[in-house]
Amino acid sequence: MRKGVFFGENDQMIQFKELFAGYRGEKLDALMGNQIINWGRSDGFNPTNNITPNDYFFLSSNPDDQKESNFMLRLKYRFIPAIELDLIAIPFYASSNYRYDLFEMGENVNFGAEIIPPKELNNSTLAARLNFEFPAAGWSVSYFNGFDPYHGFDVQSVDWTSGMPLLTNVSTPYRKTTLGADVAIPLGNWIFRAEAAYNTTKNPDSNMFIPLSDVGYVAAIETNIAGVTLIGQYIGKYTPDFFDLPLPVLSNPMDPMAQFQYANQMIDYENRLFNRKIFYQQEKTNHAVSLTLSKSFGYDAWNAELTNYYNFTSNEMILRPKLSWKITDALTSAIGVNYMQGDSKSLFGYSSKVMNGGFLELKVTF
């Protein structure tokens, strides 16, 4: 339950974090309701995790609080304790929350209500994961077919009545198929993780909100050095069918019809370009790294954590230091900063003006 001023608006919300019921047995689990599902073995960046939407504008000291539940039927069958099959059916689409309407993208750009696929059987989502968990290594293979929670946006309308184009954009979901795999291998004081997903889409050329087919992958290491836990990741994306968007050219500056056609072509070009930034398809390959350092001290009453993310392709960065204090067994406090930085017209460039700031938390556990 939340009540207060959120991004300049008075609001109150009641949300179910999770609410489900079902049966758990030795071999079979059958659960129905609002559930949060995490697939993949990497930390923070999971190319195979297409089940759970995020509310990126739910601000707290813990980024995991942004995960939202999805209504689903989940069946899990254990062949043996170390091998299980996970089957998921999602009848209704739930999208991640981007809040583009908060971005200062110009006076001529508005955002309308998001597009939601009709509640029909052919718009449902099916997913499956075969997971192996042994002492020497853990790995899984997965399949997903449905609407991606991480959607793009489309130009719904262009109003020329004022003489200048007034755009109304809408968040629009797209359907995709994903084949994924992940692995984690512990070796002494080190844990090596890898995860990859091959995403295929249809008609990306016809619809700007549909990304090109691509491959997302993560390679990570985790270790502990002198009491400091270190998690380092390389996050990449490869778009085999990538092509540069052709820049429109004004053929005849003196012709009003040519000017009108050129303006519409530029609107399409700029919005396709921004969708590519959303999908990290600005180039054929996208390269990023993240590093998290954490250390407990004071008999584990204090914990200091620093997370840094940098994308070499888009020149975007996140810096997030956090200090936690376990006052008692039931009372914890945390203080920290969220700082994002990006070039002009980049995702982080727009969102940093809204998301940058500090946080102070007092949490009671009972």
**Domain-by-domain residue ranges, the chain?**
22-364
Give residue 111's pLDDT band: very low, low, confident or very high (50, 70, 90): confident
Question: Tokens standing for 85?
Answer: 């099959």
**Which fold would CATH assign to domain 22-364?**
Porin (2.40.160)
| Mean predicted lDDT score pLDDT of the chain | 93
Average pLDDT of 81-109? 89
In terms of pTM, does the model score above 0.85? yes
Q: Would you call 219 exposed, middle or buried from its count of C-beta atoms within 10 A (0-12, 13-18, 19+)?
A: middle
How does pLDDT run across 263-306, given as a tens digit for each residue? 999 999 999 999 999 999 999 999 999 999 999 999 999 999 99
Average pLDDT of 120-147? 96
- The neighbouring-strand residues paired with 337 are 358
Query: What residues contact residue 278 under an 8 Å CB cut-off, 6+ apart?
Result: 150, 152, 153, 347
Residue 180: strand, helix, or coil: strand
Question: Tokens standing for 296?
Answer: 């407990």
Q: What is the pLDDT of residue 107?
A: 78
Report the distance separating Cα 273 and Cα 255, nearest Å.
27
Listed in order, strand segments (DSSP E) in 160-284 are 166-172, 175-187, 190-200, 214-225, 228-238
How does pLDDT run across 39-88, given as a tens digit for each residue? 999 988 899 999 999 998 888 888 888 999 999 999 999 999 999 999 99
- Answer whether residue 105 shows pLDDT above 80: no
